[in-house]
Structure 1
Amino acid sequence: MGRSHYELFPDLPLHLKQSHQRGFAGLVQKCEEDKLIYPDGSQQWFRWEVHPWYRSNGDVGGIIVFSDNITDRKQAELTLEETQEKLQLFIKYAPASIVMFDRSMPRIDNWAIALRAFSEYSRGVEAIPPARFRRFH
């Protein structure tokens, strides 16, 4: 208590300070994903809101700032996206046929994609699923 928000967070980016000023002007400000990069190079992701509060006479008395550190969630999302991109590249350029099964293994997903990939690498070979796989479709 008794200290300014800007004293506690001296490296606050300009866009956040501007959001505070808009809050003091009576506007609600929100951001679902805001990446902050600190002077030491570290990064954090936040979800935040700025809401004005009012005095009994209707004037803005100040602002309420809410922030939620979503860094772990955002890193997980970015890792998942990167993994999916790598998997898609692997599937696209693999020098062999790749077939994907669902968890219970009763059917093959993406059979057409697998056959197309197989036929690209084995020209002249008839791309018909073996009899043991036909029963699943």
Structure 2
Amino acid sequence: MAEYGMGGEVSTFGDIYSYGILLLEMLTGKKPTDEIFNGSLSLHQFAKLALPERVMEIVDQRLLSIEAEALNESQTPINAESKLEMCLISAFKVGVACSMISIKDRMAIRDATVEMLRIRNSYMGVGIHARNN
């Protein structure tokens, strides 16, 4: 995205950066070109500064309303909200780690994939043993 737009060569390092930015866009509902992001503030920094205490303030409220409608009846609303918040924090961390400015500081795509699967499984209540059934 920004890397490619600035004339950077196509590479897996650019792909992981783009993945991180896309993830942050989906989680916040904001684009890197939104008015809020000017010279010193980027989407990456916006998300990084919110971690972990303010994630629920910057998450796209449309995501929260969709999840509120789909709350699992077997959980109390407090447990479900806490679980959702922990998963969102983890997802934001992946987005931030993938979109680090320095290539050497970026999360590897394999690690990002494993982490996103772990987050999904945690949120959906899928345990390690479920794979064997």
Please classify the TM superposition score into its range, dividing by the shorter chain length: under 0.3
More helix by share: 2
Please report the TM-score for the alignment, with normalisation by the length of structure 1.
0.21
Whichever of the two has the greater Rg, that structure is 1
Q: Select the structure with the greater relative contact order (CA < 8 A; seq sep ≥ 6).
A: 2
More strand by share: 1
Please report the TM-score for the alignment, with normalisation by the length of structure 2.
0.22
